[in-house]
Structure formats: structure tokens, C-alpha cells
């Protein structure tokens, strides 16, 4: 009689495993990967121009005293096209915006800018995604709010929506 409860141990273990499985299905894991660079200086880089007529981007240029955005994008990125009007609105409001084009050809970047507009002061070409990876960026589009000292203050993963524009402007204004 004493050993009879031992027969139910495998059944109890199976029940616990089944419960854990059901829990993971109903409560998915966090899918966004936050950069480890938040509240730290921008990692050092010196990227060549992504296309003719637009200067490249160096990390040292991001510490010029003006808060700004650094947008990681690609011409082949469909959500980047959807984000373009919001970047244009931010530029029209006086927000400095720099870009990092990942895994992109100069002619494709030029075509993209011709189609959606060019809100960027500078665009660096990150052909191997080394700067993107160093930033902790997990995809495109992704935008970083940089203070005037070149410190990354916030990361926006995904498309900037129209209703986020005033909030982003307020955050950049508060960084002055």
C-alpha cells in the first residue's frame, strides 16, 4: 500500500508538463529584443555613404549637442515605406534624423529615397549589419532617440506611427 502512490508520480509529472505547455501557448514569450545600449554612448562606427549625394555617418557626429533620431532602415523593407511620412513630419518639425541603411545597394537606397522622400541628414551604409548588431537592433525599421551628447536614450522597434510623432518630439525637446 505504501508504494501505491509512487505509481501516480509519472502521471503527475505528465500533468505538470502539459500544464506548462498550455501556459506557454496562452502567454507567449516577449518577442522584442531591447538594446543593451540604452543610456550608454552610441557604439563607435564610421559608415560610408549609402548613396550618392548624401553623406555617410560617423558615431562622433551624433554628439553635436542636438538631440536627434537615428533610423535603421532598408529599401527592401515594406514597413519602412509605411514609416516614411512620419519621418518626413518629424523632419518638417525640425528634428535632425540620420539613417543607417542595412544590407542595401546604393542604387536601391537612391530609388527608395526618390519614392518616399529623404528625411535624413546623413545615411551610413551598413552592408554587413555590423553597426545594426552592435546597436542591439533586431530588425527594420528601428529608431533610436539620441541626446545631444550621443547617448542612446530610447529605442523604438517597428514603424513610428502618426500618433507617436508629438510624443517623440516632446521627448527630444526634453533632452535639450
User: Does residue 18 belong to any structural domain of this protein?
Assistant: no
Q: Examine residue 46 and state whether it is found in any structural domain, yes or no.
A: yes
Report the predicted TM-score, pTM, of the whole model to 2 decimal places.
0.82
DSSP string, the chain: -GGGGGGGHHHHHHHHHHHHHHHHHHSPPP-----TTTTEEPPP-EEPBSBTTB--EEGGGG-SS--EEEEEE-TT-HHHHHHHHHHHHHHHTT--EEEEEES--HHHHHHHHHHH----SEEEEETT-HHHHHHT--SSSEEEEE-TTSEEEEEEESPPPGGGHHHHHHHHHHT-
What's the average model confidence in pLDDT over 141-147? 97
Q: Average pLDDT in the 48-55 region?
A: 97
Residue 114 has pLDDT above 90, yes or no: yes
- pLDDT band of 157, cuts 50, 70, 90: very high
Query: 57 in a domain, yes or no?
Result: yes
pLDDT in tens, 16-39: 777 766 766 666 565 555 678 799
Is residue 103 situated within a structural domain? Answer: yes
Tell me whether residue 159 is in a domain: yes
Q: Tell me which residue range forms the domain holding 150.
A: 40-174
* Residue 10 belongs to some domain of the structure: no
Predicted local confidence at residue 2, as pLDDT: 59
Query: What is the number of structural domains in the chain?
Result: 1
CATH of the domain at 76: 3.40.30.10
| Residue 133 confidence (pLDDT) | 92
Amino acid at each position: 500500500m505504501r508504494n501505491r502512490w509512487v505509481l501516480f508520480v509519472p502521471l503527475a509529472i505528465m500533468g505538470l508538463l502539459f500544464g506548462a505547455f498550455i501556459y506557454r501557448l496562452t502567454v507567449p514569450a516577449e518577442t522584442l529584443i531591447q538594446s543593451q545600449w540604452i543610456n550608454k554612448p552610441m557604439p563607435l562606427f564610421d559608415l560610408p555613404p549609402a548613396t550618392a549625394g548624401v553623406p555617410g555617418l560617423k558615431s562622433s557626429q551624433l554628439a553635436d549637442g542636438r538631440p536627434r533620431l537615428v533610423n535603421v532602415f532598408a529599401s527592401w523593407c515594406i514597413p519602412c515605406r509605411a514609416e516614411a511620412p512620419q519621418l518626413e513630419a518629424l523632419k518638417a518639425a525640425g528634428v535632425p534624423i540620420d539613417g543607417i541603411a542595412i544590407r542595401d545597394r546604393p542604387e536601391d537606397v537612391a530609388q527608395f529615397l526618390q519614392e518616399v522622400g529623404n528625411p535624413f541628414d546623413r545615411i551610413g551604409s551598413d552592408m554587413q549589419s555590423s553597426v545594426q548588431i552592435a546597436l542591439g537592433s533586431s530588425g527594420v525599421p528601428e529608431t533610436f532617440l539620441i541626446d545631444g551628447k550621443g547617448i542612446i536614450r530610447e529605442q523604438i522597434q517597428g514603424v513610428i506611427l502618426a500618433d507617436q510623432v508629438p510624443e517623440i518630439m516632446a521627448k527630444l525637446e526634453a533632452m535639450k
